Structure 1
Amino acid sequence: MGKNYRQGRLGEEIKKSISGYLLNGIKDPRLSTRIITISAVEVSSDGSYATVFFTPLTLSGEDSNEVSKEVLSAFNNAKGLFRTKISHDIKLRHAPELNFKLDSSMEYGRHIDEIIDEINKPER
């Protein structure tokens, strides 16, 4: 339980720090004007890397792929700021290197639901 427990705790603290910075501190309009959900943070076993999974909210008239690319590039541009914020909030000697990835689990879940609905549809 020891190592996985520490990774999970560290991941949750990183998630809380990034979410708080998105709400109150970030000045990039690509991130500050959007509603972005940080769904998960996976930390490597040695704590040197953290993968941050995010989902941006898209409006009905927007292309979700374009919004995702825009938000991903904004996150990649602000990696250093997030890393500094994390090291101050959690008081880490070495903040992990951040990798940002789009969380596609919601889209995958919708796709699976459609498949199940298609299978369960009564034959005519």
Structure 2
Amino acid sequence: MIRINEEIKKELSDIIRQDLKDPRIIQTMVSVLNVDTTNDLKYCKIYISVMGNEEQKKGVIEGLKNASGFIRREIARRINLRNTPELIFKIDDSIEYGIRLSKIIDDIKSNTEEEDESNE
């Protein structure tokens, strides 16, 4: 299953980057983070990261849902599977969460350094 998930992830990334023409998708930075396919290959949850605001995230999800038939056909054409799974797109905010945490840590660190300098 891991090999299938990685292959779908690779092909899906290529399809999003090269083949989709929807402005909601191509004008936003979209990354495929993880793919989780059921054992019977009926469903495939695709976790994506979208750098942008909530409106852009919703637009990307709508664009991917609208293009899911095309994406599914492309995956079937590129990967030889007994079934081509139904695609379910989900937003994964873990990268943005990590960036926010990193910024908070940097802010705390710089405030601590400023306090140390003022105490000297």
TM-score range, shorter chain: 0.7 to 0.9
- Of stretches 94-103 and 49-58 in structure 1, the one that deviates more from structure 2 is 49-58
Number of paired residues?
Answer: 112
Q: Tell me the equivalent position of 2:115.
A: none
Specify the alignment match of 2:33 in structure 1. 39
Q: How high is the TM-score relative to the length of structure 1? A: 0.76
Q: Which secondary structure state, in structure 1, belongs to the residue aligned with residue 95 of structure 2?
A: helix
Shift of 1:33: 2.6
Q: Partner amino acid for 1:102? A: I
Structure 2 residue identity aligned to 1:86: I
Flag structure 1 segments of 5+ consecutive residues without an equivalent.
Answer: 1-6, 59-63
Match for residue 25 of structure 1?
19
8 Å CA contact retained: 2:24, 2:56: no
In the other structure, the counterpart of 2:69 is 80
Query: Which structure would you say has the larger Rg?
Result: 2
In angstroms, what is the RMSD of aligned CA positions? 2.3
Stretches of 4+ moved more than 4 A in 1?
Answer: 110-115
TM-score, with structure 2 as normaliser: 0.78
* Cα distance per residue 1:45-101 (max 9 Å; x no partner): 22211100111223xxxxx11111110111111111111011111022310111000
Q: Per the alignment, in what secondary structure is the counterpart of residue 94 of structure 1?
A: coil
Distance of 2:51 and 2:22 partners within structure 1: 17
In 2, the alpha carbon distance for the partners of 1:10 and 1:68 equals 26
Q: Match for 1:65 among 54, 62, 70?
A: 54
